[in-house]
């Protein structure tokens, strides 16, 4: 699984980008879930996102024919887009 993680030191944000076709197994979802949780701790955030939520996001992204899912984590919270 290829995951792109970018830290913007100026804005103090992290952006995680994953191609939709990279989500193949439960382990892939668990990896992203753990990564979001770990980075969220840097901002004292409780992400309140489950693996099931991630699965639903990927399903919606596929319906919209999106190529990737992007998760931005910063002081304002967590924003997931596709």
Per-residue pLDDT of 10-66, as tens digits, reads: 989 999 999 999 999 999 999 999 999 999 998 999 888 899 999 999 999 999 999
Kindly list the domain boundaries of the chain, sorted by start residue. 4-81
Per-residue pLDDT of 51-68, as tens digits, reads: 999 999 999 999 999 999
Q: Which two tokens stand for residue 50?
A: 């489950």
pTM recorded for the entire structure = 0.87
Nearest alpha carbon to residue 36 among 17, 19, 23, 55: 17
Identify the residue whose tokens are 């992400």.
47
What is the DSSP code string of the chain? Answer: ---EEEEETTTTEEEEEEEGGG--SHHHHHHHHHHHHHHHHTTT------HHHHHHHHHHHHHTT-SEEEEEEETTEEEEE-
């Amino acid at each position: 699984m290829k995951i792109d993680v970018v830290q913007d030191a100026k804005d103090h944000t992290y952006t995680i980008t994953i191609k939709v076709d990279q989500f193949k197994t439960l382990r892939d979802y668990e990896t992203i879930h753990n990564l979001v949780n770990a980075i969220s701790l840097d901002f004292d955030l409780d992400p309140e996102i489950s693996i099931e939520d991630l699965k639903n996001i990927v399903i919606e992204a596929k319906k919209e024919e999106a190529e990737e899912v992007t998760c931005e984590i910063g002081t304002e919270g967590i924003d997931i887009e596709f």
